[in-house]
Amino acid sequence: MTSRYRPVSRKVIAMTDLSKTGHTGAPGGEAGSGNPLPWARRVADRVHGRRRGGTTRPCGRRGAARLRRERQPGDAAVLRAVHRAAADLRGRLHADGRTGTRRGGLLRLRPGGAGPDPGLSAATLALFSYTLLLVGVDAYVGVATSNVIERYADVGSPWWAWALISLGVIAFLGHRDIELSAKVLGAVLVLEFLLLLVMDVGIVGHGGAHGLTAEPVSPSIVGTGSLGLGVMFAFFGFTGFEATAVFRHEAKDPDVTVPRATYVAILVIGAFYSFTVWAIVVGSGVGAVVGAAQADPEGLVLTLTRSYVGSVWADAMQLLLITSQFACVLAFHNVVTRYQFALSRAGALPASLSVAHPRHRAPSASSAVAPAVAFVTTLVVASLGLDPIGDLYAWFSGAATPGIVLLMAATSLAVVGFFRRATGGSRCGGRSWPRPSPSSAWPAWSA
């Protein structure tokens, strides 16, 4: 069957480097900026063994063998591990550089490694997944806002009214320059981070419910309970870290800021979430945390904050729960609009969605469509009398997470496919494309 989409060349790859295609309405202030991520690639090259001018240092097995001869077996083992990680990272970054600086996040690698049709399929999956997250989390914002107003003002209000108001504010912010959204997201993120950190320090300072213990992070607990559900929510916690590349053409000095933002996001999210979850388990008690979470899933963190820090901090955290969820909706909206913009440039969506604001350089037409879809969905759910948390938030977020994981897995496999097809690729140890490492295999296995 012949595809109804027009062919996508490697030069275009459907994922829109609009500054290189001559599209004057392209979002962002960068035009023809060259290959992406040079800073990150230079670091990976240096660790992996490449040097400027085509010469190489001993790397991988050769480097490890040399260290063993020099009686440094520990350093040899470390070099082997670092080499494998650098080979995988270097493969991803150089594949990204070969296919150009294009919008669309993870999708940029897919067409070059798997052909244009899989790339468009991945784009559709990304758009669908992030739209589900946009609608589901916005419903949570409506419910949380309604509950807070009822608690502190003793006034009942429908959740869907606040959800629609939230969408209106998001539509306004999405229509403006991306820096305005970034300032809002940054302020909310810092406040939420500080409040959670205060809770963590309070729990550690009081010694938890039954003393501090490393049992929550013991390898023996792996496989207990609902492992699949836990893995799904772990991936859900990292959802969106790859979206830093989507905003390349709207970022200042993207060759530096985009890779650094990606690395910082992964490291900070992983470290801070791990510490906070450990503190929650210790604060509730290792044997009692499951029962406490089942009894009060929405108020567990607030209860711990009130017990270990005080009611003032708990009230502030409840207010920030609304703003943090609003920030999530705004972030998902920004990603959805950029994917719509990219698909429109590829010819898969109406051309009107690729219209950018002449002054703000934001995808203004797409920024109007995404909230409209969420607006209609919210009204339908409200008119049917469905539960906004159990029937909308839980199902939509649960359905979106496997889609995001599948995109990560497809990207990992597309990198390998790209290097197998490429000629004249960078080599180290006689290989022209990176062998799959555990970091590549994990998303594929999970999907």
Q: Which residue has the higher pLDDT, 433 or 228?
A: 228
* pLDDT of 280: 93
pLDDT at residue 269 above 70?
Answer: yes
Crossing angle for the helix pair 394-421 and 438-446, nearest 10 degrees?
A: 140
pLDDT at residue 94 above 50?
Answer: no
* pLDDT of 296: 80
* pLDDT of 222: 75
pLDDT at residue 268 above 60?
Answer: yes
* pLDDT of 261: 81
The pTM of this model reads 0.64
pLDDT at residue 292 above 50?
Answer: yes
Nearest-angstrom CA–CA distance, 310 and 303: 10
* pLDDT of 166: 94
pLDDT at residue 422 above 80?
Answer: no
Q: Which of 156-165, 186-195, 251-260, 310-319 has the lowest mean pLDDT?
A: 251-260
Contact yes or no for 397/133 (Cβ under 8 A):
yes
Q: Which residue has the higher pLDDT, 126 or 42?
A: 126
Work out the burial of residue 11: count CB atoms within 10 Å of its CB; fewer than 13 is exposed, 13-18 middle, 19 or more buried: exposed
Q: Which residues contact 188 (CB under 8 A, 6 or more apart)?
A: 320, 323, 324, 326, 327
* pLDDT of 346: 79
pLDDT at residue 339 above 90?
Answer: no
* pLDDT of 227: 75
* pLDDT of 328: 86
* pLDDT of 359: 67
Closest CA to 243 of 404, 111, 106, 398: 106
Chain mean pLDDT for the chain = 71
Q: What are the structure tokens assigned to 158, written together?
A: 């429908």
Handedness of CA 191, 195, 196, 201 (dihedral sign): positive
Average pLDDT score over residue span 86-113: 44
Q: What are the structure tokens assigned to 102, written together?
A: 């294009």
**What would the pLDDT profile of 10-58 be if each residue is shown by its tens digit?**
333 333 333 333 333 444 433 333 333 343 444 444 444 444 444 444 4
Task: Give the DSSP H or E segment for 208.
Answer: none
Q: Which residues contact 24 (CB under 8 A, 6 or more apart)?
A: none
pLDDT at residue 379 above 90?
Answer: yes
pLDDT at residue 95 above 90?
Answer: no
Nearest-angstrom CA–CA distance, 208 and 433: 49
**What would the pLDDT profile of 185-242 be if each residue is shown by its tens digit?**
788 888 888 889 999 999 999 998 888 988 888 887 777 777 777 777 777 777 766 6
344 pLDDT band, cuts 50/70/90, is confident
DSSP lists the bridge partners of residue 50 as 56
* pLDDT of 383: 93
Q: What are the structure tokens assigned to 307, written together?
A: 């017990």
Q: Which residues contact 130 (CB under 8 A, 6 or more apart)?
A: 332, 335, 336, 339, 400, 404
* pLDDT of 335: 86
Measured between alpha carbons, how far is residue 194 from residues 185, 313, 320, 329, 422 in Å? 14, 11, 11, 21, 47
pLDDT at residue 114 above 60?
Answer: no
pLDDT cut 90: percent of the chain above it: 16
* pLDDT of 357: 65
Task: Give the DSSP H or E segment for 104.
Answer: none
* pLDDT of 132: 93
Largest CA distance in the chain: 76
Handedness of CA 220, 223, 225, 230 (dihedral sign): positive
> Which one of 89-103, 168-182, 348-362 scores highest in mean pLDDT?
168-182
pLDDT at residue 348 above 70?
Answer: yes
* pLDDT of 58: 44
Average pLDDT score over residue span 435-446: 46
pLDDT at residue 394 above 80?
Answer: yes
pLDDT at residue 106 above 50?
Answer: no
